[in-house]
Amino acid sequence: MSKVYYLKVAESDKYEQILEQELKNKFKKGMKVAVKLHMGEDKGMFNPTLAKRTIKVLNKLGCEPFLFDTPVTYPGARESKQVYEKTAVKHGFTKESIGCPVIISDDYVGVKTKNLDLEVSKELLGADAFLVLTHFKGHPASGMGGAIKNIAMGCVSPKSKKDQHTVGIPVVSDECTACGTCEEVCEYSAIKVKDKAVINKNSCWACTTCVYNCPSNAIKSKASFDALMTEAASGILKKFDDKPVFYVNDVRSITKNCDCFSNPGKIIAKDVGIFMSDNLVAVEKASTDLVKKQEGRDVFLETHHHDPYLQIKQAEKLGLGKEDYELT
């Protein structure tokens, strides 16, 4: 059973103590540590103060950390390396304020998985250790956006992000009864129902939410978004099979949508706290479980009609960890 550390009060010094205690035997002196986080489209991002506190621990251990993220496929504050660099500065992610170099990575190395030809950040793959800092919140394409998504989407090129959002674009079969459910649950307005459901491939993000919700099983996809995203995370993490990896989930400011939106929307659950583990599946499961327990309902499923546990189960299937955990 994996240990997941839980801190209700994120500001507590215990954060530094737990992190130091957990990292000191694996994140050794002189190691180049790639610290992945989202530096924000506009309002939502990984908390810069928590990032700074994390880097302080790594510096104390004698590691050589760097913060990094990658540009995205669409116009906005992260549309290119140059634009994202300015955004990072605007949001307080600078070497001076955080305590380590900040890199917007746009140099990639090919990594092949079953359905994807990934282009993975060269800086990440050149590191000796990997620390994944995730702002845990809702997501329209996967119900919940946690560490799995942070790795799968956040560590790859714009093309590889796009591939994860297109390979699984579904098709509608003749079994369609025109009930309209898919149109109701599609958050991208990509499916319209008249005599039959019709998907507009240009606006479809291949989230496969319509597939899960069709009562007639009339929509099929080559691979679900949960499966593709987890496959990408697995392909990347395989490169760290013999290197240390650690996960920190910040489960506060739980917005409806992810930090990729300029406005991530309303808060859908009260703050829960910080979760830390070296087991990806366990940290995601514990974070999701405690949000559900605290709210008394599955807010991610309710908000996005997409089961947040699907990606966690998929990750376990791919050997990225075990769901069993012990909260400490």
Write out the residues near ligand SF4 by the rule CB under 6 A: 170, 172, 176-182, 186, 188, 190-191, 193, 197, 199, 204-210, 214, 216, 218-219
Q: How far is the CB of 15 from ligand SF4 (least distance, A)?
A: 37
Nearer to ligand SF4, 7 or 178 (CB): 178
Nearer to ligand SF4, 54 or 224 (CB): 224
Nearer to ligand SF4, 157 or 181 (CB): 181
Q: How far is the CB of 210 from ligand SF4 (least distance, A)?
A: 3
> What is the SS3 assignment for the chain?
CEEEEEECCCCCCHHHHHHHHHHCCCCCCCCEEEEECCCCCCCCCCCHHHHHHHHHHHHHCCCEEEEEECCCCCCCCCCCHHHHHHHHHHCCCCHHHHCCCEEECCCEEEEECCCCEEEEEHHHHCCCEEEEEEECEEECCCEEECHHHHHHHHCECHHHHHHHCCCCCCEECCCCCCCCHHHHHCCCCCEEECCCEEECCCCCCCCCHHHHHCCCCCEECCCCHHHHHHHHHHHHHHCCCCCCEEEEEEECCEECCCCCCCCCCCEEECCCEEEEECCHHHHHHHHHHHHHHHHCCCHHHHHHCCCCHHHHHHHHHCCCCCCCEEEC
Nearer to ligand SF4, 132 or 204 (CB): 204
Nearer to ligand SF4, 48 or 170 (CB): 170
Nearer to ligand SF4, 5 or 205 (CB): 205
